[in-house]
Structure 1
């Protein structure tokens, strides 16, 4: 099997990681392309002593870490509004702790693998994750709307949201309910399932809501590969079913990390 064939199944998940790390589809995909170009340019330098996914993320990490210091030195006026928000967050949270958080709780790497990827030991990874969770939770508080037609899953999501210190505006089970609830009580974050009770789409519900006002959205689906094809507009934040509670917590924190409404004064 060629190296390209080995890497292909892991690209959708790497795009998810890159987008969560940067808070941007465009920027995240740009870093993924840079990593792939580096592999194509020097295939002999690709890590062969680890599995393909770990080697792919390692190459991405090298690209990311080589550029983050230049990005951190840029002024807020030189970038987008989203980049300005990120810089204000990053002044309170080190990039390394965010990487440790995402790699372990969202991407599912064990601490030993995350340590390999960021150049630390496993004990330090655990410390970084704890620091990141505490600081992001302190920085971000909002009101969350849940679009989910499975009662038990909705209850679980609601509990997770409240455990993080957020309020829940309500739970909608159809597209029409979701839009009506959003218009009645505007949320600061939306958690949206893809397939809803009346065979309507959570994606369409979100499109209707975003046509009225801007709000960060996290999609939840059992089939993430259907939304991470690289062939159409794709979600920045995506959770795979069945999900782990820590994954939901980390993704909520990351989505709010880039949201202007929750930036501390």
Structure 2
């Protein structure tokens, strides 16, 4: 599966890349919403795993997810975030993701979400 990781923290991005590549997926990374959108527009991916908060003053992972699915409706979305408040969760849910995973990174939950288990099983 072709997976696009949108994550502004390099260590998290590297860890996710290693996990997914070891599981046989092809991974591309981006650190900004604009970067992820540009990559997915030119080279559509099967799945985008988006961090919710990409840094103060920047567009967030929801902005990117909405743009990517508008450009390529078949791109599946998963969010990963430390934010669990109602506003943040509501914003993520508005993009209709397959899953919302909590940080810190949980390898088993990540891999289950990537293969398409329902939200209730991985959140």
Common topology (TM > 0.5) = yes
2:25 alignment partner, one of 166, 183, 187: 166
Change (3 A) 1:172 1:204: same
Correspondence for 1:153: 12
User: Does 2:106 align with 1:244?
Assistant: yes
Q: How far apart, CA to CA, are the structure 2 residues paired with 1:213 and 1:184?
A: 10
User: RMSD value over aligned CA atoms?
Assistant: 2.3
- What's the TM-score, normalizing by structure 2? 0.81
**Any runs of at least 4 consecutive aligned residues in structure 1 with deviations exceeding 6 A, and if so which?**
none
Maintained 8 Å contact 1:216/1:255: no
Structure-to-structure mapping, 1:99-178, within 5 angstroms? 142-168=1-27, 170-178=28-36
- SS across alignment from 1:192: strand
CA shift at 1:224, angstroms? 3.2
Q: How far apart, CA to CA, are the structure 2 residues paired with 1:200 and 1:209?
A: 13
Q: How far apart, CA to CA, are the structure 2 residues paired with 1:232 and 1:204?
A: 10
CA shift at 1:163, angstroms? 1.4
Question: Which structure has the highest helix share of the two?
Answer: 1
Q: Which runs of 5+ in 2 are unaligned?
A: 119-123
Maintained 8 Å contact 2:76/2:98: no
Q: Which runs of 5+ in 1 are unaligned?
A: 1-141, 257-265
CA shift at 1:243, angstroms? 2.1
Correspondence for 1:68: none
- What's the TM-score, normalizing by structure 1? 0.39
User: Does 2:58 align with 1:199?
Assistant: yes
Change (3 A) 1:251 1:200: same
Give the aligned length.
113
Question: Which structure has the highest strand share of the two?
Answer: 2
Maintained 8 Å contact 2:5/2:13: yes
Correspondence for 1:182: 40
